[in-house]
């Protein structure tokens, strides 16, 4: 299960809608070992493509270093699919390199209603998990 | 001569869990070979057919080595080399749900 505050959920969806039809991507960082996704960080898609995303390498270094300094990890890694379903593609699976992360996928294929799903991708195996959206105060208390 | 090599989570199985190891070398290529000598298998995750793997980012201090000299980038005592797997993917082949693809 991935737990997100409403504010974080909304920020991810807003980013996906804003970048549509290009894929949007980013992370939600949280304290190492806590599994709490608290700090939303939208990232640039260096590919700027409707079918592929890649974190800009310089930005990734800055963000990863900052997480290291704050003793955080990327609890959530999100990206959007703009014409297909919110399910990890073969490339998503092939490149998933953070086994502890929750891989959130948002589909903006339908302009009226986004599809928002989350997955664990470990050793090439995909398992879907529940997305639970809560009020901010609840996240701090977990 | 010591160069710090920072290891991402997914490659720490090669370094007994250590997040950083030390190595020596005049170039990134020789540094990687040196580190691989003590942590066998690490090189294969970074280099394929004599080239840096496309979806691994390697940085010399603050710069992506792709913009320096790639594997031939000179390295020196006191430098820090950081390895981060690229974060990438996309909807290409979304219809294909085959789970296992070799990196």
Closest-approach residue (CA) in chain B for A23: B90
Contact A56, B88 (CB under 8 A): no
Residue A16 pLDDT level (bands cut at 50, 70, 90): very high
Which ipTM score applies to this complex? 0.92
Q: Provide mean pLDDT across the span A40-45.
A: 97
Pairwise CB contact (< 8 Å): A100 & B89: no
For residue A62, the Cα-to-chain-centroid distance in whole angstroms is: 17
Pairwise CB contact (< 8 Å): B87 & A51: no
Torsions phi, psi for A133 (to 5 deg):
-105, 125
Choosing among B13, B81, B85, B94, which should be mutated to test the A contact, i.e. which has the most A CBs within 10 A?
B94
Chain A CB contacts of B88 under 8 Å are: 47, 52-55, 91, 95
Within an 8 Å CB–CB cutoff, is residue A127 touching chain B? no
A131 bridge partner residues: A2
The vertex-B62 CA angle with A12 and A55, nearest 5°, equals 25
What would the DSSP string read from start to end of B3-57? Answer: EEEE--GGGGGGGTT-SEEEE--SBHHHHHHHHHHHSTTHHHHHEETTEE-TTEE
Domain boundaries, chain B: 3-85
| Residue B38 distance to chain A (closest CA, Å) | 23
**What domains can be seen in chain A, in order of their start residue?**
2-141 (3.40.140.10)
Q: Provide mean pLDDT across the span A1-11.
A: 97
Q: Return the CATH fold of B3-85.
A: Ubiquitin-like (UB roll) (3.10.20)
Question: Both tokens of residue A62?
Answer: 């800055």
Indicate the pTM of the whole model: 0.91
Handedness of CA A80, A82, A87, A89 (dihedral sign): negative
Residue B103 pLDDT level (bands cut at 50, 70, 90): very low
Choosing among A27, A43, A59, A61, which should be mutated to test the B contact, i.e. which has the most B CBs within 10 A?
A61
pLDDT score at B101:
42
Element (H, E) at A18: helix A6-19
Secondary structure class of A131 (helix, strand, coil): strand
Pairwise CB contact (< 8 Å): B85 & A51: no
| A-B Cβ pairs (cutoff 8 Å, strict) | 117
Q: Provide mean pLDDT across the span B53-71.
A: 97
pLDDT in tens, A80-131: 999 999 999 999 999 999 999 999 999 999 999 999 999 999 999 999 999 9
CA distance A86 to A76: 15
Question: Both tokens of residue B80?
Answer: 């820090």
CA distance B103 to B55: 9
Pairwise CB contact (< 8 Å): B89 & A91: yes
Torsions phi, psi for A117 (to 5 deg):
-135, 160
Contact B81, B60 (CB under 8 A): yes
């Amino acid at each position: 299960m991935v737990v997100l505050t409403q504010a974080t959920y909304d920020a991810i969806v807003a980013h996906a809608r804003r970048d549509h039809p290009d894929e949007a991507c980013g992370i939600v960082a949280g304290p190492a070992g806590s599994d709490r996704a608290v700090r939303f960080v939208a990232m640039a898609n260096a590919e700027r493509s409707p079918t592929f995303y890649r974190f800009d390498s310089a930005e990734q270094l800055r963000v990863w270093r900052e997480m290291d300094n704050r003793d955080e990890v990327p609890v959530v890694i999100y990206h959007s699919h703009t014409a297909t379903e919110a399910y990890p593609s073969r490339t998503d699976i092939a490149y998933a390199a953070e086994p502890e992360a929750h891989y959130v996928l948002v589909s903006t294929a339908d302009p009226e209603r986004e599809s928002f799903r989350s997955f664990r991708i470990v050793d090439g195996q995909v398992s879907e998990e529940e997305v639970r959206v809560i009020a901010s105060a609840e996240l701090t208390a977990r | 001569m010591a160069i710090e090599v920072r290891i991402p989570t997914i490659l720490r199985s090669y370094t007994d869990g250590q997040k950083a190891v030390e190595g020596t070398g005049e170039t990134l290529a020789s540094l990687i070979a040196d580190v691989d000598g003590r942590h066998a298998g690490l090189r294969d995750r970074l280099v394929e057919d004599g080239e840096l793997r496309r979806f691994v980012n390697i940085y010399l201090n603050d710069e992506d080595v792709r913009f320096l000299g790639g594997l031939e980038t000179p390295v020196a005592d006191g430098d820090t080399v950081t390895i981060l797997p690229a974060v990438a993917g996309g909807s290409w082949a979304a219809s294909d749900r085959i789970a296992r693809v070799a990196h």
